[in-house]
Amino acid sequence: MVAQGHIEISFPLRNFLGRYPFLYYSLYNLIPKNKKLSVKQNTQLVIEGFPRSANTFAVLAFGYAQPNPVNIAHHMHVPAQVIRAVKWKIPTIVLLRNPKDAVVSFVIRDPRVSIDQALKSYISFYETIYPYKNNYVISGFEEIIKNYSLTIERVNKKFGTDFVAFTPTGKDLENIFQKAEKLEGGVESKVSRPSSTRTAAKKELLQELESEKYSKLLTAAEKIYRQFEHENDLA
């Protein structure tokens, strides 16, 4: 949902800037689309996570259930969003998916991003926001898809909000998937539904990810994932 420009140049720089709210917003708020997605004083909810961690589904499903529009900051995929939200005491959901699935899915979606870049980005995102862990709600990938109501109920309890708790099923779920596919332009490598094309690509990339070449980075990514998983009873 967010154009990343020339990925070989901007992706590493974006990851660096994304750790520092002042630097990040000074630059990216110059882009009109980013102004709509960035945390602002009037933001009512922040939904952020590493790419391919059910970000689009979480935003669409949440908005689908609410009787009135909610001003949501989302899809920037940088710690700055979370840090600023914490500073301003804005209700925040941080999405968490295991690094193997998240990284492989991300690289399939945009092959210009290398496995090395994706792993480093995953580690940087979650390590940077870890010190603020008591100030937002963590939700695992499976919970978002299968029991989103629990996530929203935790947000309401933690922040004193009264958002409608909702887990889409049946026709509601179908409608949300259709909206997500429309946003992605119907490109098979980008949509959220299972697909035979992505399954084959995922198998090949997973073998590469699990090779010795990436063992140190993968170990670091899995370590920070387990820390969040354990502390938030997501296992």
Could you read off the pLDDT of 4-61 as tens digits, one per residue?
A: 433 333 677 888 888 989 888 888 777 776 778 999 999 999 999 999 999 999 999 9
pLDDT for position 9: 38
Across all residues in the chain, what is the average pLDDT? Answer: 88
Neighbour-count burial of 40, counting CB atoms closer than 10 A to its CB (0-12 exposed, 13-18 middle, 19+ buried): middle
C-alpha distance from residue 212 to each of 120, 208, 215, 230 (Å): 16, 9, 5, 26
Is the pTM above the cut of 0.75? yes
Residue 74 has pLDDT above 70, yes or no: yes
Q: What is the CATH number of domain 7-231?
A: 3.40.50
Radius of gyration for the alpha carbons in the chain, expressed in angstroms and rounded: 17
* pLDDT for the residue numbered 195: 57
Domain assignments of the chain as residue spans, ordered by start:
7-231
pLDDT digits (tens, 9 = 90+) for 126-176: 999 999 999 999 999 999 999 999 999 999 999 999 999 999 999 999 999
Evaluate whether 89 touches 41 at the Cβ level (below 8 Å). Answer: no
Residue 188 DSSP code: T
Task: Please tell me the predicted confidence (pLDDT) of residue 72.
Answer: 97
Residues 6+ apart with CB under 8 A from 5: none
- Tokens (6 digits) for 231: 């502390």
Mean pLDDT, residues 79-98 taken together:
97
